[in-house]
Amino acid sequence: MASLTIKESEILLKIFKDFSKAYNANSISKEVNISARGALKILKNLEKEHLVISRKLGKATFYKINLEDIYVRKIIETLLIKESRDKAQRWIDEFKEVFKDAEAIIIFGSIIKNPQHANDIDIILVYERKNHKNISGFIYSKNKVLLKKIHEIPQTIDDLKENLKKNPAIIDAIKTGYVLHGQDKIIEAMKNVTII
């Protein structure tokens, strides 16, 4: 496949991150500000390249990311990395010291939407229980120097998989946040929770 266009990348990332919603050409067109015809053309091309899978429901065709394909998972991983580098590099730098102990880190909430008015720094930290002491020490030391305190939501990878099925706060964090670290782990956790 040739490199993705900006709109193809935007559509893939939107469908992946907003996994609790079913998207067809009409609904995705509104999300990425293109015509329904343009969205359909892109979706058909993405399907031809096996990046998305379609399913007919009535007269509408809905699309989801083909997460069974390793190539597609790597593309999504790359898109997530680019998104966090473009929109949250400051936070990657702030948390990189703890990457060795965390399987994944997602920043979300008001700190990325409206930093000046944010009361705290919301993050999901996915890690093995054996790393709890190191992660807690990191959070404690950061909270002594940061102007806004870190509000962490600790998760094991199994907790995350369960919460992706039913916890609106976690689902919204994936939808609106940025994956600072462990993009591959997030993709793996989401493989079996996408709808359609």
pLDDT, tens only, 107-131: 999 999 998 999 999 999 999 999 9
pLDDT (0 to 100) of residue 107: 98
Say which residues have a Cβ less than 8 Å from residue 38's Cβ, sequence separation at least 6: 7, 29
What is the rounded distance in angstroms from the CA atom of residue 184 to the CA atom of residue 99? 13
Cα(171)–Cα(108) distance, integer angstroms: 11
| Average model confidence (pLDDT) across the chain | 94
Closest by CA position to 194, among listed 20, 52, 32: 20
Total-model pTM: 0.93
| C-alpha–C-alpha distance, residues 117 and 135, integer Å | 26
For position 192, what pLDDT does the model report? 73
pLDDT digits (tens, 9 = 90+) for 25-72: 999 999 999 999 999 999 999 999 999 999 998 888 999 999 999 999
- Running DSSP on this structure, what letter comes out for residue 147? S
- Using one digit for the tens of pLDDT, what is the confidence trace for 75-116? 999 999 999 999 999 999 999 999 999 999 999 999 999 989
Amino acid (one-letter) located at 94: E
Domains and CATH numbers, the chain: 6-65 (1.10.10.10), 77-190 (3.30.460.10)
Supply 161's token pair: 């998989």
